[in-house]
Chains A and B, each alone.
Chain A
Protein backbone atom coordinates (compact mmCIF):
# COMPACT_ATOMS: atom_id res chain seq x y z
CA UNK A 1 0.00 0.00 0.00
CA UNK A 2 1.24 3.43 -0.88
CA UNK A 3 2.09 5.58 2.15
CA UNK A 4 2.07 9.36 2.10
CA UNK A 5 3.71 11.36 4.85
CA UNK A 6 3.58 15.05 5.34
CA UNK A 7 5.63 17.20 7.62
CA UNK A 8 5.26 19.13 9.65
CA UNK A 9 1.83 18.12 10.96
CA UNK A 10 1.39 21.47 12.64
CA UNK A 11 2.94 24.75 11.62
CA UNK A 12 2.64 28.10 13.26
CA UNK A 13 4.33 30.93 11.45
CA UNK A 14 4.39 34.68 11.52
CA UNK A 15 3.04 36.80 8.75
CA UNK A 16 5.64 37.70 6.19
CA UNK A 17 7.74 34.60 6.75
CA UNK A 18 8.50 31.78 4.32
CA UNK A 19 8.12 28.09 4.95
CA UNK A 20 7.95 24.75 3.16
CA UNK A 21 5.66 21.79 3.69
CA UNK A 22 6.98 18.41 2.60
CA UNK A 23 5.13 15.44 1.16
CA UNK A 24 6.94 12.10 0.86
CA UNK A 25 5.41 9.03 -0.71
CA UNK A 26 6.53 5.44 -0.79
CA UNK A 27 6.02 4.13 -4.33
CA UNK A 28 5.76 5.31 -7.91
CA UNK A 29 2.86 7.62 -8.59
CA UNK A 30 1.07 8.95 -11.65
CA UNK A 31 0.44 12.41 -10.28
CA UNK A 32 0.24 14.44 -7.13
CA UNK A 33 -2.28 16.97 -5.89
CA UNK A 34 -2.25 19.65 -3.25
CA UNK A 35 -5.49 20.65 -1.52
CA UNK A 36 -6.52 23.21 1.02
CA UNK A 37 -9.20 22.58 3.64
CA UNK A 38 -10.74 25.24 5.86
CA UNK A 39 -12.38 24.15 9.13
CA UNK A 40 -15.70 22.43 8.53
CA UNK A 41 -15.31 22.72 4.79
CA UNK A 42 -14.45 20.40 1.96
CA UNK A 43 -11.24 20.35 -0.05
CA UNK A 44 -10.22 23.04 -2.48
CA UNK A 45 -7.87 22.03 -5.27
CA UNK A 46 -4.65 24.01 -5.37
CA UNK A 47 -2.30 22.23 -7.73
CA UNK A 48 -1.92 19.09 -9.78
CA UNK A 49 1.62 18.00 -10.62
CA UNK A 50 2.00 15.52 -13.42
CA UNK A 51 5.66 15.01 -14.10
CA UNK A 52 9.12 15.10 -12.61
CA UNK A 53 10.36 18.63 -12.15
CA UNK A 54 6.90 20.13 -12.42
CA UNK A 55 6.54 23.46 -10.67
CA UNK A 56 3.34 25.43 -10.29
CA UNK A 57 2.71 28.73 -8.60
CA UNK A 58 -0.40 30.55 -7.56
CA UNK A 59 -0.05 33.69 -5.51
CA UNK A 60 2.05 33.01 -2.42
CA UNK A 61 2.03 29.24 -2.92
CA UNK A 62 4.39 27.24 -5.08
CA UNK A 63 4.38 23.48 -5.48
CA UNK A 64 7.04 21.25 -6.95
CA UNK A 65 7.47 17.57 -7.65
CA UNK A 66 10.55 15.35 -7.67
CA UNK A 67 9.40 11.89 -8.71
CA UNK A 68 12.86 10.39 -8.30
CA UNK A 69 12.99 11.42 -4.67
CA UNK A 70 9.23 10.78 -4.31
CA UNK A 71 8.92 14.19 -2.80
CA UNK A 72 6.69 17.17 -3.32
CA UNK A 73 6.99 20.51 -1.61
CA UNK A 74 4.52 23.31 -1.02
CA UNK A 75 6.37 26.55 -0.44
CA UNK A 76 4.72 29.50 1.23
CA UNK A 77 6.14 32.93 0.54
CA UNK A 78 5.48 35.92 2.78
CA UNK A 79 2.63 34.24 4.61
CA UNK A 80 -0.59 36.09 5.32
CA UNK A 81 -3.36 35.23 7.77
CA UNK A 82 -5.69 34.13 4.96
CA UNK A 83 -3.43 31.17 4.28
CA UNK A 84 -4.31 29.61 7.65
CA UNK A 85 -5.87 26.23 6.82
CA UNK A 86 -5.01 22.55 6.61
CA UNK A 87 -3.08 21.49 3.53
CA UNK A 88 -3.14 17.98 2.14
CA UNK A 89 -1.10 16.35 -0.55
CA UNK A 90 -2.61 13.39 -2.36
CA UNK A 91 -0.77 10.88 -4.47
CA UNK A 92 -2.58 9.02 -7.20
CA UNK A 93 -1.88 5.69 -8.82
CA UNK A 94 -4.46 4.59 -11.34
CA UNK A 95 -7.64 6.00 -9.89
CA UNK A 96 -6.68 5.51 -6.29
CA UNK A 97 -6.07 8.57 -4.12
CA UNK A 98 -3.79 8.36 -1.11
CA UNK A 99 -3.91 11.39 1.13
CA UNK A 100 -1.13 12.69 3.29
CA UNK A 101 -1.64 13.26 6.98
CA UNK A 102 -2.26 16.94 6.48
CA UNK A 103 -0.43 20.04 7.71
CA UNK A 104 -2.36 22.44 9.89
CA UNK A 105 -1.03 25.91 9.19
CA UNK A 106 -1.66 28.88 11.43
CA UNK A 107 -0.36 32.25 10.35
CA UNK A 108 0.05 34.64 13.25
CA UNK A 109 -0.22 38.39 12.71
Chain B
Protein backbone atom coordinates (compact mmCIF):
# COMPACT_ATOMS: atom_id res chain seq x y z
CA UNK B 1 0.00 0.00 0.00
CA UNK B 2 0.88 3.67 -0.23
CA UNK B 3 3.42 4.82 2.33
CA UNK B 4 3.98 8.40 3.37
CA UNK B 5 7.02 9.19 5.45
CA UNK B 6 7.18 12.33 7.59
CA UNK B 7 10.28 13.60 9.30
CA UNK B 8 11.11 14.55 11.98
CA UNK B 9 8.57 12.99 14.32
CA UNK B 10 9.43 15.40 17.12
CA UNK B 11 11.28 18.69 17.16
CA UNK B 12 11.95 21.27 19.82
CA UNK B 13 13.19 24.66 18.70
CA UNK B 14 13.81 28.07 20.16
CA UNK B 15 11.54 31.02 19.45
CA UNK B 16 12.61 32.88 16.37
CA UNK B 17 14.19 29.95 14.61
CA UNK B 18 12.85 28.07 11.60
CA UNK B 19 11.93 24.43 11.36
CA UNK B 20 11.56 22.30 8.25
CA UNK B 21 9.27 19.27 8.12
CA UNK B 22 9.53 16.80 5.26
CA UNK B 23 6.81 14.66 3.76
CA UNK B 24 7.76 11.94 1.30
CA UNK B 25 5.67 9.51 -0.69
CA UNK B 26 7.80 6.38 -0.71
CA UNK B 27 6.21 4.13 -3.29
CA UNK B 28 4.09 6.40 -5.43
CA UNK B 29 4.16 9.81 -7.02
CA UNK B 30 2.06 12.52 -5.45
CA UNK B 31 1.28 15.62 -7.46
CA UNK B 32 -0.71 16.87 -4.52
CA UNK B 33 0.03 16.68 -0.84
CA UNK B 34 -1.81 18.23 2.06
CA UNK B 35 -0.60 19.79 5.28
CA UNK B 36 -2.71 19.75 8.42
CA UNK B 37 -2.38 21.12 11.88
CA UNK B 38 -3.93 19.51 14.93
CA UNK B 39 -4.30 21.02 18.37
CA UNK B 40 -4.61 18.72 21.39
CA UNK B 41 -7.90 16.84 21.47
CA UNK B 42 -9.09 18.69 18.38
CA UNK B 43 -9.74 17.76 14.79
CA UNK B 44 -7.39 18.27 11.89
CA UNK B 45 -7.31 21.66 10.27
CA UNK B 46 -6.22 21.85 6.66
CA UNK B 47 -3.48 24.42 6.30
CA UNK B 48 -2.58 24.17 2.67
CA UNK B 49 -2.58 22.06 -0.45
CA UNK B 50 0.87 21.50 -1.85
CA UNK B 51 1.07 21.25 -5.63
CA UNK B 52 4.13 19.84 -7.38
CA UNK B 53 5.86 22.46 -9.46
CA UNK B 54 3.59 25.30 -8.49
CA UNK B 55 2.61 27.44 -5.55
CA UNK B 56 0.75 25.97 -2.64
CA UNK B 57 -2.85 26.86 -2.02
CA UNK B 58 -3.36 28.12 1.51
CA UNK B 59 -6.53 27.99 3.53
CA UNK B 60 -8.05 31.18 4.79
CA UNK B 61 -6.29 32.46 7.87
CA UNK B 62 -3.05 30.56 7.30
CA UNK B 63 -0.06 32.86 6.89
CA UNK B 64 1.76 31.83 3.75
CA UNK B 65 4.87 33.77 4.74
CA UNK B 66 5.05 31.94 8.03
CA UNK B 67 4.30 28.46 6.77
CA UNK B 68 6.39 28.03 3.64
CA UNK B 69 5.53 25.05 1.49
CA UNK B 70 7.72 23.69 -1.25
CA UNK B 71 6.77 20.77 -3.45
CA UNK B 72 9.84 20.44 -5.64
CA UNK B 73 9.38 16.85 -6.74
CA UNK B 74 6.65 14.27 -7.14
CA UNK B 75 7.70 12.56 -3.93
CA UNK B 76 8.63 15.37 -1.58
CA UNK B 77 6.85 18.30 0.00
CA UNK B 78 8.31 20.41 2.79
CA UNK B 79 6.70 22.69 5.32
CA UNK B 80 8.94 25.30 6.90
CA UNK B 81 7.69 27.11 9.98
CA UNK B 82 9.57 30.39 9.91
CA UNK B 83 10.38 32.54 12.94
CA UNK B 84 8.58 30.06 15.16
CA UNK B 85 6.73 31.20 18.26
CA UNK B 86 5.31 29.15 21.12
CA UNK B 87 1.82 29.45 19.63
CA UNK B 88 3.08 27.53 16.60
CA UNK B 89 3.56 24.49 18.82
CA UNK B 90 1.28 21.83 17.47
CA UNK B 91 1.03 18.48 15.75
CA UNK B 92 1.58 18.78 12.00
CA UNK B 93 0.48 16.02 9.66
CA UNK B 94 0.89 15.62 5.93
CA UNK B 95 -1.06 13.39 3.60
CA UNK B 96 -0.79 12.21 0.03
CA UNK B 97 -2.47 9.65 -2.15
CA UNK B 98 -4.67 8.90 -5.05
CA UNK B 99 -8.30 9.82 -5.11
CA UNK B 100 -10.05 6.48 -5.42
CA UNK B 101 -7.58 4.55 -3.31
CA UNK B 102 -7.64 6.90 -0.42
CA UNK B 103 -5.11 9.12 1.17
CA UNK B 104 -2.36 8.07 3.50
CA UNK B 105 -1.21 10.23 6.34
CA UNK B 106 2.33 10.75 7.47
CA UNK B 107 3.29 9.84 11.01
CA UNK B 108 3.03 13.45 12.12
CA UNK B 109 5.50 15.92 13.60
CA UNK B 110 5.18 17.20 17.14
CA UNK B 111 6.61 20.73 17.16
CA UNK B 112 7.39 22.41 20.44
CA UNK B 113 8.64 25.98 20.39
CA UNK B 114 10.29 27.12 23.59
Name A's B-contacting residues (CB within 8 A): 33, 35, 40-45, 48, 50, 88, 95-102, 104
- Of the candidates B103, B106, B108, B110, the one having the most CB atoms from chain A within 10 angstroms of its own CB is B103
By a CB distance below 8 angstroms, the chain B residues around A96 are: 46, 49
With A42-B105, A42-B108, A95-B32 already in contact, the answer to whether A100 and B49 are too (CB < 8 A) is: no
B52 to nearest A CB, angstroms? 13
A-B contact pairs, 16 of them (CB 8 A): A35-B105, A41-B108, A42-B93, A42-B107, A43-B105, A45-B102, A45-B103, A48-B101, A95-B32, A95-B99, A96-B49, A98-B46, A99-B43, A99-B45, A99-B46, A101-B43
Q: Is B34's beta carbon under 8 Å from chain A?
A: yes
* B103/A33 in contact, CB under 8 A: yes
Chain A at the B interface: SS class: strand
Given contacts A42-B6, A98-B46, 9 further A-B contacts (CB under 8 A): A40-B110, A42-B93, A42-B106, A42-B108, A45-B102, A88-B43, A95-B32, A95-B99, A96-B46
Closest-CB distance, B84 to chain A (whole angstroms): 20
CB contacts under 8 Å to A, within B1-56, are: 6, 32, 34, 41-46, 49
Tell me whether A33 and B102 are in contact (CB under 8 A).
yes
Q: Return chain B residues, CB-CB under 8 Å to A102.
A: 42-43
Chain B residue with Cβ nearest A40: B110
**Beta-carbon contacts of B44-87 to A below 8 Å, as 1s and 0s?**
11100100000000000000000000000000000000000000
